[in-house]
Structures are given as structure tokens and as C-alpha cells.
Amino acid sequence: MSKAPISGAFVIVAKHAHFSVLYFGMPVITVEKLAEARKQDLELTLLTSNEAGLKKVINNPELHRPGLALAGFFERFANKRVQILGETEMTYIAQLSSERLNEVARQLFKHDLPLVLITKGITPPADFLEAANKSGTCVFSSRLTTADLSTKLSAYLDHTFAPSIMMHASLVDVYGVGLLYTGKSGIGKSEIALDLVERGHRLVADDVVKITRAAPDVLIGASSELLGHHMEIRGVGIIDIEELFGIRAIRLQKRIEVEVNLTLWSETEEYERLGLEEKKTTILGVGLPIVRVPISPGKNITVISEVIAMSHMQKVYGENAALEFTKKLSQTLARQSITKGYLESDYE
């Protein structure tokens, strides 16, 4: 395992049993970067004049409404979060006396807030902005409602701070199921993905897949910005899937639902025959079904991939062919045992 810096964060390179992974460190996002990236979407206007506030780092994707803090209660105050002041908070501030306003603003901004956003285009009192400038904190006004601003900003911050890795693999949308192909280099992941695309399925990424934990139990895969939907086929070279097969053959991202681990066939290995016990793997702390498929000459992995996708959807809908077969087999054996005993005692 090795570590290398990349644009303010760091990357840990690790080798696993059947794939290589790049673990990205915590991203660095400043107030200035947020404003530049989402100024138009969030309809932001900078109200303060201090440069230092733009360089402040946002370390938390969660938002906070400081209503209790404005009333003077700072115990367990979430000062590391972006602060949102809505119409309710601003109405309270507007009715404060000048002396009380200065005290409230001084107490609020001394907690080193990363950023303050005021909704509905409301302009705060000059004393409030003066306190913000003295503390080196930026205050922005947004024309959006509190609910709209919170929703859009939360989506951006959640995506920015979501844990992500880069994995040596291929990702294909097969019948609406995201199949992540892993295995050692040269085993045939790209060739299988190409065959699936030719059969009408959609390529998400080849060779390098960026995987993001979008929710506690959801993994989203996408291609790297550098590779896009290009693919390397040994003996042929680099091909562009979108140019060859059209826009229908690609997807920008897809939820990963099953890992298909490709291994070379070995007579000494034991492989799953019934499928009664679902194997699991873990990526970014999210459990994922894994199917290990041995590769041997003449084996149609493309058709097997389609069956894996359809079988997964059956299980999603509550149907398990292996369990149903086992149940029917047990019922048949029990019925045969009862019938055999009856026939042995039947002398008519």
C-alpha cells in the first residue's frame, strides 16, 4: 500500500485479491470554490468584503439553522457547518436593538463559522455584516427559499464529500442491473463488456471505474473523466464505444448491484453449483452480492452475465430459483417416501 498526493487530497493505492483500488482522501472545498461552482444555481450574492473568508475550508456536508444561537444558547452549537439564516431568523434579527444586535453578532461570529447564507434575498443589518467582516466570515444572500437552497446545497455537498474510490474493473448496465466485472488484468473484462454492448446493453466504464457511496447502501459507478467511454481491446487498440455503437450504448453512471469476479478455471477449486448461499463482498462499507465465474475456453460469459442480471432481479422481486428447486426437491422426496411406505403395505 502506498500514498500519493493529488490536488489537495491524497490517494492510497491498495492491491486486493481480485482488483486494484485507489482510495481518495477527504476532498478540500473552500468557500470560494463553492461560490464559483454554484453561484448561478444557488443565486448567490456576496455581501461581505473580506478576502480571508473566501479561503475558509468547508469540512462538513451538513447544514445548520442557528436559531438557538441567535437567542444566546451556544451549548452544542454546530459551528463547523454552513449556517443558513431563513426568514424566521432574519425577522428576529431585525427586531433587535442596535446594542443587542451587536452582542448577538459578536457572539455568533466568534465561533469561526465557515460560511453564512441568507435566503429569500434578504439583506441583513449593516452591524451584522460588519461583525462578519471583522471575524473573516463570508455572508452570502440567495434569492432562493430556505427549502430550495437547503435542498440544492445539501445535494452538492453530499456529492462532494461522498467517499469514492477508483477501481480497476468494468461496469455494464445489463437489463437495468449494474454488473461490476473484476479480475486480474488480461482475463477478458473488456471483451465481455464489448460483447454485451454489441448485444444491446450499455457500457458505463471500462478499465477504470469511479465508485461513489451515494447513500449508506448505494454505490454509484461512473467512468473516469480521462477515459470516458473508450475501451482498450488487446490486438485491436483503443476504440470509442459511443462513436461505434451510438449514444444508446453508453451510460454516464449506474448503480452497482452485483460484482462479477472473473477467475481462471481450476480443477482444484470448488465453485458454486446450487446458489443457495448468496456470497457478499464489501466496497466502501456497502455490502454487495458477488458471483465468481470461472473462465474456460468456449464458455459464453456474455449469456451467463445476462442470466446473472435476470437472476438478481428475480431475487429483488422475492423469487429465488435455487430455494424453490430445493423446496420442490424436498417435497418430492418426502412424497416418494410416503408413497413407498404405502405401497409396501398394500396387498390388494
Q: Which residues are catalytic?
A: 168, 189, 207, 273
Do residues 253 and 221 touch, judged by C-beta distance below 8 A? yes
Q: What is the DSSP string of 116-128?
A: EEE-TTPPPPHHH
Do residues 208 and 190 touch, judged by C-beta distance below 8 A? no
What is the C-alpha to C-alpha distance for residues 133 and 106, in angstroms, rounded to an integer? Answer: 11
- Where does the chain have alpha helices with state H? 31-42, 67-70, 87-94, 98-109, 126-135, 146-161, 189-198, 241-245, 301-316, 321-344
- Structural element, H or E, at residue 235: none
- How many other β-carbons are positioned within 10 Å of the β-carbon of residue 3? 10
Do residues 65 and 108 touch, judged by C-beta distance below 8 A? no
Do residues 160 and 29 touch, judged by C-beta distance below 8 A? yes
The residue count of the chain comes to: 348
Q: What is the DSSP letter of 213?
A: E
- How many other β-carbons are positioned within 10 Å of the β-carbon of residue 100? 12
Position 312, amino acid: H
